[in-house]
Amino acid sequence: IRTFPNSKICDLDFDIAKLSAKIRAQSSLKTPDAILLATAIINGSDIFITNDLNLKKFSDNKLQILAMEDYIK
């Protein structure tokens, strides 16, 4: 993962924890999923690619959720 272009490993900090708690409270997402989405938003990601179709339920103007299944058909 460290060698993938346009990817990085981020520390979990207070801002990410705070936003992930907000996401978790406003959605049916599990805590680890909320942490991943909050990390992407805080770090300025435009797109979040996943195999988890449940994450497509998440709505945020700053982050587009793409499911790999949509492109493999």
pLDDT tens digits, 14-50: 999 999 999 999 998 999 999 999 999 999 999 998 9
Spatial contact of 16 and 39, defined as CB atoms under 8 Å apart: yes
Rounded Cα distance between 57 and 7, Å, is: 23
- State residue 2's pLDDT score: 74
Q: What's the average model confidence in pLDDT over 41-67?
A: 89
Q: Six-digit token pair at 38?
A: 């909050």
Q: How many CB atoms lie within 10 A of CB 7?
A: 9
